[in-house]
Structure 1
Amino acid sequence: MRWQVNSEQSLHADQWLDLRQADVELPDGRHLDHRLVRLAPAAGAVVVDDRRRVLLIWRHRFITDSWGWEVPMGRIEAGEEPVVAAAREVEEETGWRPGPLRPLLRTEPNNGITDSVHHVFRADGAVRVGPPADEWEAARVDWVPLTDVRRLIGEGDIVGGTTLAALLYVLTEV
């Protein structure tokens, strides 16, 4: 049951997103006037140290007016490889330079409304290089024991889809 896109047009576009309207035909011939958001891909990393702790940022998300732990992640710049973007984002947001990165997972956290692709890598270890580049990115940067992750999810302190997927995936590896 494949949906057929007959047309798509931009309703608003800027450096962050492209809000679009699509005429979508369903397999039974009906049409939907569907909205979607086109976004640049993002990259981030789960950094685990030799004490089985994960490097996370504690930040406020104004859209949902909520606080939570997240893996460092951000937009991939034009021409940038995902692995390079992930290393840059970890260092910018935490002040820690990750060790060698290897692919962990690729996720599309909300593919019913957006084409945003998140490339998540894993590093074993990091070196402190200084303070985060932008203090406004996070209220706290901390090494959180992997054994606390399930509890933090249950308490609602980890809710972001990509962070949830990445951390739960790492927990299946250990």
Structure 2
Amino acid sequence: MDHTPESAYAHLRDTHPDWFVTPPGDGTISIMRWPMTEGQVIYRDPWWMLLQDPVVHPDGRHDRYLRMLAPQPEPGVAVLPLLDVNVVLIEHFRHATRAWHWEIPRGGGTAGLAGKDNAAKELREELGAAPRELIELGTLHPDTGLLAQSVGLYAARIDEVGTVERGEGIRRARTFTFTEAERMAGSGRITDSFTLAAIFRARQAGLAG
């Protein structure tokens, strides 16, 4: 069925009401409801939707906010590979920043795969590695100002590094001690939010050796 941007938004309200909930209590930014005004689905593909929500600020001002959601129910994952007591990072070229970044493997939600299965899939695809053990490190909201999705963080004990996924812009993998990785984070050589959070959570979980 073809939709206008407004009717597609109304359809989402009907089919996914949990995406439009306003928590109880003072100070929230609430979403206005039709017939007062309606939002729009600005863009949609199999991986992302960009919504424009009509909102009311706590002081009564009306506004419109952009918000990105992932259509699939399965959350994305990010995985910190651990080889012995060291951290494995990949050097990944990112289109959005037009720059190289030291990162951990990650990917969006995969239909039908639970979090740990998706984490193992991303390790195989990006690093050519199989996890001997997967350890949950909690969840992360990578950008609360724009992205609605949460991402599951994991650490993975691996026995070796395979072939990196060069077709996705990964040129190499390197092993660092935890201390080296933390120094890279502190000096700004690591700026990726998933990687920063995973290193911190792994240290807090006692995985740094």
Equivalent residue for 1:152, pick from 184, 199, 209: 184
Q: TM-score, normalised by structure 1?
A: 0.89
Answer yes or no: is 1:36 the counterpart of 2:67. Answer: yes
SS of the residue corresponding to residue 121 of structure 1 reads strand
- Give the whole-Å Cα distance in 1 for the aligned partners of 2:135 and 2:201: 14
How far off its partner does 1:73 sit? 0.6
How far off its partner does 1:27 sit? 2.0
Counterpart amino acid of 1:6?
A: M
How far off its partner does 1:130 sit? 4.2
Answer yes or no: is 1:67 the counterpart of 2:100. Answer: yes
The 8 Å contact of residues 79 and 104 in structure 2, kept in 1 or not, is answered as yes
**Which residue of structure 2 lines up, in the alignment, with residue 2 of structure 1?**
28
**Which residue of structure 2 lines up, in the alignment, with residue 115 of structure 1?**
148
The 8 Å contact of residues 155 and 198 in structure 2, kept in 1 or not, is answered as no
Greater Cα shift, 139-148 or 33-42: 33-42
Which consecutive residues of structure 1, in runs of 5 or more, have no partner in the other structure? none
How far off its partner does 1:102 sit? 2.0
Answer yes or no: is 1:127 the counterpart of 2:153. Answer: no
Q: TM-score, normalised by structure 2?
A: 0.75
Moved over 3 A (4+): 127-130
Answer yes or no: is 1:104 the counterpart of 2:137. Answer: yes
How far off its partner does 1:93 sit? 0.4
How far off its partner does 1:150 sit? 2.2
Q: Which has the larger radius of gyration?
A: 2
Query: In proportion to residue count, which structure has more strand?
Result: 1
Which consecutive residues of structure 2, in runs of 5 or more, have no partner in the other structure? 1-26, 34-38
Number of residue pairs matched?
171
**Correspondences of 1:9-48 after superposition (within 5 Å):** 9-39=40-70, 41-48=75-82
Q: What CA RMSD, in Å, does the superposition of the two structures yield over aligned residues?
A: 1.8
The 8 Å contact of residues 76 and 152 in structure 2, kept in 1 or not, is answered as yes
The 8 Å contact of residues 83 and 159 in structure 2, kept in 1 or not, is answered as no
- Give the whole-Å Cα distance in 1 for the aligned partners of 2:50 and 2:92: 26
**Which residue of structure 1 lines up, in the alignment, with residue 23 of structure 2?**
none
Counterpart amino acid of 1:79?
A: G
